[in-house]
Chain A
């Protein structure tokens, strides 16, 4: 079972207490009415999905019911840190090259 550290509760809890809430640090346009459809659509719907360390928003759904951020590797699932909203992460996002495919695998 995966343990996730909740920065509000101050302890690690089992993964089933949490719910992922997508990419973190998405700034809402200051003046939504001035956005083009493309700009608003980009803000509303389009998310990155690379391999590597990503900053994500998580919810401690069964515990304190608070949102926080996590820096998670999208391939290994390793969570290298969690931090409160408003705090700065200590790990930067990375984009990893795909691993070479094993011989005989089809593209």
Chain B
């Protein structure tokens, strides 16, 4: 174990937690959209987000990550997934781990134990960002209106994840299923992206899930 000060950062359930889009009231909007909507939106909120940094060229780093998570280090622009845990390539020395709510403390401990004295960094960024999931037959059309990145399946297959410009700001697009995409949005931009997505998906019909 390293000398890093690791502690439980998530308050227990007696403390009220609000996601970055709490004020949008997705629970109240759920089921009120038109039937047959082209785009369905939901927030995958309050998940465990951990930034993991280390040298991906070092086999010891990849091995430690595998021992801790049972996941291979993802190659450039890709996503490793197992059960409800995903590991995303952000850069050659940076990865993003997303796990179910509340698991971040145990995962950080496992990572630090497995990576020992290696030159690495694990930071809990759960409070700083959220995930918006876009799905449906017109989800890709909404992306095409929003980003200059080529989201055609030939260049953006399932399992790929890219950082790009989006609606004049920046976010990560993760292709998680045939018609399903996740947008990794910074907390302070969540309201703006929500407004943008409502406008961009208006012509296709938008349904919100709580």
Enumerate chain A interface residues (CB-CB to B < 8 A).
1, 8-11, 13-14, 16-17, 61-66
Contact = CB atoms under 8 A, between A and B. Distances in A.
Interface stretch (B63-71, B131-139, B159-167): B159-167
Given A8-B91, A8-B92, A10-B77, A63 B162 contact: yes
B91 A13 contact: no
A1 B148 contact: yes
Given A1-B148, A16-B148, A66-B91, A9 B77 contact: yes
Interface residues of B, number: 13
Contacts of B27: none
A36 B170 CA distance: 42
Contacts of A13: 149, 164
A16 to B, nearest CB: 5
Interface of B: 76-77, 90-92, 94, 148-149, 162-165, 170
Contacts of B164: 13, 17, 62-63
Nearest to B170: A62
13 contacts: A1-B148, A8-B91, A10-B76, A10-B77, A13-B164, A14-B148, A14-B149, A16-B148, A17-B164, A62-B165, A64-B90, A64-B94, A66-B91
Contact of B92 (A14, A17, A62, A64): A64
A60 to B, nearest CB: 8
Which 8 residue pairs of A and B lie closest in terms of their CB atoms, listed nearest first?
A: A64-B91, A14-B148, A62-B170, A63-B163, A62-B165, A66-B91, A10-B76, A8-B92
Contact of A8 (B76, B162, B165, B170): B76
A64 B162 CA distance: 8
Contacts of B94: 64-65
Contacts of B162: 9, 63
Nearest to B171: A62
Contacts of B149: 13-14
A13 B165 CA distance: 10
